[in-house]
Amino acid sequence: MKMYLISDNIDTLTGMRLAGVEGTVVHERDALKAELDKVLEDREIGIVLLTEKFGRDFPDLINEVKLNYSRTLFVEIPDRHGTGRKPDFITSYVNEAIGLKL
């Protein structure tokens, strides 16, 4: 099983290539859709890493592939600018999940 990165910036792609993960850089919705279609056709790719910006800019497209393609795992990762989440997102998640205030 291989991992593949679809990024919105070259720095993230360069870092992942140093770790042995191939990928590509796209900026437009149509290019992202075409790249996702290409990745979904490759049966060797089991994990697709996507920078968080795609989830913010194109949530309908990302949610569609996450829900409809169970063979491939889609993981959103922060890019070089860090995460788009608020600083205490883990604490908030735990509070919501178990009702325990930390």
Pairing of strands 73-77, 45-51: parallel
The model carries a pTM of: 0.78
Q: Where are the alpha helices (DSSP H) in the chain?
A: 10-18, 29-41, 52-57, 59-68, 89-98
Q: What is the CATH number of the domain that holds 52?
A: 3.40.50.10580
SS3 2: strand
Residue 89 has pLDDT above 60, yes or no: no
Q: Taking a C-beta distance cutoff of 8 angstroms, is the pair 39, 75 a contact?
A: no
The radius of gyration computed from the CA coordinates of the chain, to the nearest angstrom, equals 15
- Return the pLDDT at 85: 62
Q: How many domains does the chain divide into?
A: 1
- Which residues constitute the domain of residue 89? 2-98
Residue 4 has pLDDT above 90, yes or no: yes
Segment 16-68, tens digit of pLDDT: 999 999 999 999 999 999 999 999 999 999 999 999 889 889 999 999 998 99
C-alpha of 48 from chain center: 7
- Return the pLDDT at 81: 63
